[in-house]
Amino acid sequence: MITPENIHTFIISLPKDKHRREYLGGQLEKLNIPYSVLEAVNGKALSAEELALAYDPKKAVRLFNRELSKGEIGCTLSHVSIYRKMAAENLPHALVLEDDAKILEDDLAATLSKLAQLYPADVPVAVMLIHVKRVDANSRVPLDAKHDVYDAYRGVHTHGYFITRAAAEILAQKLYPAYVVADKWEYFQENFIDVKCLVPYPVGLTEAAQSSSIEAMGVREKKLTDGHNYGYYLRKTLHQLVYLVRSRPFIRIEHKGRSELDPL
């Protein structure tokens, strides 16, 4: 059974987006999945003082060669607030949804329960429940007769994922002050936690995703450096070499298509 005590479901939403919350909440209610709404951080409304405390532009440029937009900062801080809540309230597992998400499967509650059994709260793992283009076929673990779990290969987007308390505790510490976009799963996977994905995926997008208020997707600042960030380029080159030598021979990339219920 899905209850607030074992798997807490969060919807991240700005106050003005009532219709989005109601649509997604209605879907969850039909599936008997209790949820709570967490007010998204509006990055554009942050004051200079708030940005100085919650955002590290130097680290962003040093590690990723660009600053974040205010929308991206707000998105990251929104997800970090959930990670902090999980840690503070000792929540074992969570389903995190942005308000432009759409539930594609009627058995989502049962699927979440199986994920919670597979990944105990003290195992630092996040499972993407959304479309991931590429997976490591060698990592396949059957979840049930319908679903398999794979290691995600450079997955993006944050409109639907399952996360354990251990992973939330790590990300709450590592991602604040903000310096990286909330959907940089490849970076999290390489440095902090395990990142998996579920196939077929049970969470898609509504048409509202084309104008995301949270700005979780698509909005990217141009690189601010003039090509002299030698440390960034050196680290990037070394990382690619290490990956080619250490990891690539053991990975078998497999492409996964979109669900017909998720045309976006």
Say whether 94 sits in a helix, a strand or coil. Answer: strand
Confidence band for 219, pLDDT divided at 50, 70 and 90 = very low
Judged against a pLDDT cut of 50, whether residue 1 lies above it is answered with yes
pLDDT digits (tens, 9 = 90+) for 139-153: 999 999 999 999 999
- Segment 100-125 mean pLDDT: 97
pLDDT, residue 115, reads: 97
Q: Which residue has the higher pLDDT, 218 or 140?
A: 140
Judged against a pLDDT cut of 70, whether residue 248 lies above it is answered with no
DSSP letter at 227 equals: S
Say whether 117 sits in a helix, a strand or coil. Answer: helix
The owner of tokens 């398999």 is: 148
What pairing do the DSSP bridges indicate for beta strands 93-98 and 7-13? Answer: parallel
Q: For 18-27, 83-92, 119-128, 150-159, which range has the lowest pLDDT when averaged over its residues? A: 150-159
pLDDT, residue 174, reads: 98
Q: Which helix (H) or strand (E) holds 83?
A: helix 70-89
- Segment 2-13 mean pLDDT: 88
φ, ψ dihedrals at 220, nearest 5° = -130, 130
Q: For 66-70, 222-226, 241-245, 256-260, which range has the lowest pLDDT when averaged over its residues? A: 222-226
Q: For 28-32, 33-37, 108-112, 258-262, which range has the lowest pLDDT when averaged over its residues? A: 258-262
* Amino acid present at 2: I
pLDDT digits (tens, 9 = 90+) for 176-213: 999 999 999 999 999 999 999 999 999 999 987 666 55
